[in-house]
Structure 1
Amino acid sequence: MGQQSEPSDASLEWWVDTWGDRLVRYAYVMTRDHHLAQDVVQETFIKLMVFQRRYPERVVVPGWLFTTARRVALTLLRRRPEVAADVVESSGSDAHIWIPPAFRELVDTLPLLERECVWLFYYADWPTEQIARHLGCKPGAVRGRLFSARQHLRQLWEDE
């Protein structure tokens, strides 16, 4: 049996430096609340530390972080009484991506699953198959959500 080693602070620092900004943006897309997004990411990194201590032999991939962040966000949203029930029920590169404020406001009007697909597809550069695995649905459903999101955005943009 090999000796279990504690994850180094340098390892956690690498995860935070490399993925922290992207996770905050991802959590914001889900929560529409900057402070809650920060809480989601903090909780996600705590779960990463616990996971690395418990399973030091397992390799953590970025998809694990996003899946964990999604679960944490949904849990925190369920605990907030002011969140509309449909938000919770409907949810079953470069680290410094700038999103124009006008476009961000338009994306924020999309339903949760559409927002999530748009963010993962266009800003995290995930293929539809990876998004489908992440959301627990079929790639065709992801493509449908992206199509619907583009239609909504086009209409909103034209109305502006």
Structure 2
Amino acid sequence: MHIDFAEFVVSRTAALLRFGYLLTGDRHLAEDLTQEALVKAHRRWGGIVGDAGPEPYVRQAILRQFLSWRRRRSFTERPIAEPPDVPLAGDLSDRLADADEMWSLLRTLPRSQRAVIVLRYYEDLPDAEIARLLGCSPATVRVHAFHALQRLRAALTPVRLPGGQT
């Protein structure tokens, strides 16, 4: 079965952008990663369309771009047009504040740890598949996950002061 490149782009771009956003936490950087991966895929289109289709190749290209050193500087620069609004009172604002805090914490993780968390908990991939994508062993994936979760838990656990105050 031959999949046309244009059809693939139309049908799978939203899912690929979501994957890029989960890795970066930034819509514009996710668009850049996805676009670069699609350019690479287009160049090799005849060779990557196989039994699994082109999506695994494109996802791996996005992941490799995210993990590359070339992107490290642009990833840490986060210009904003306006300062964020103060959260409103109520349940929704509390949930949004919690989600925002989690995104901020995810951004502090080293790239490989963050990639493991995204691939495991957002993309629901098994350790063996994550290891294949990252080019490491499943044990390394588990170590990255352990350290990432340990850092996230430590950041989310309130500090207890003497006298039981937080």
TM over 0.5: yes
Q: CA deviation at 1:125?
A: 0.4
1:63 correspondence with 2:60: no
1:14 correspondence with 2:11: yes
Q: Aligned equivalents of 1:66 and 1:100: distance in 2?
A: 25
Bigger CA radius of gyration: 2
Q: Which amino acid aligns with 2:29?
A: L
SS of the equivalent of 1:125 reads coil
The ranges of structure 1 where at least 4 consecutive aligned residues each deviate by more than 4 angstroms after the TM superposition are: 79-84
Out of 36, 41, 48, which is 2:41 matched to? 48
Query: Could you say which residue in structure 2 is the equivalent of 1:28?
Result: 24
Q: Aligned equivalents of 1:21 and 1:102: distance in 2?
A: 22
Identity rate of aligned residues, in percent? 28
Query: Could you say which residue in structure 1 is the equivalent of 2:162?
Result: none
> Quick check: 1:27–1:41 contact (8 Å CA) kept in 2?
no
1:78 correspondence with 2:78: no
> Relative to structure 2, which stretch is displaced further, 99-108 or 112-121?
99-108
Query: Could you say which residue in structure 1 is the equivalent of 2:147?
Result: 148
Query: For structure 2, which runs of at least 5 residues remain unmatched after alignment?
Result: 77-95, 160-166
Q: Aligned equivalents of 1:74 and 1:42: distance in 2?
A: 16
Q: Aligned equivalents of 2:114 and 2:4: distance in 1?
A: 34
TM-score by length of 1: 0.70
User: What are the Cα deviations for residues 52-93 of structure 1, in whole angstroms up to 9, with x where unaligned?
Assistant: 2x3375343433222111233345x42665778xxxxxxxxx
Q: Which amino acid aligns with 1:63?
A: P
Higher relative contact order (CA 8 A, sep 6+): 1
The size of the alignment, in residue pairs, is 137
> Quick check: 2:20–2:30 contact (8 Å CA) kept in 1?
yes
TM-score by length of 2: 0.68
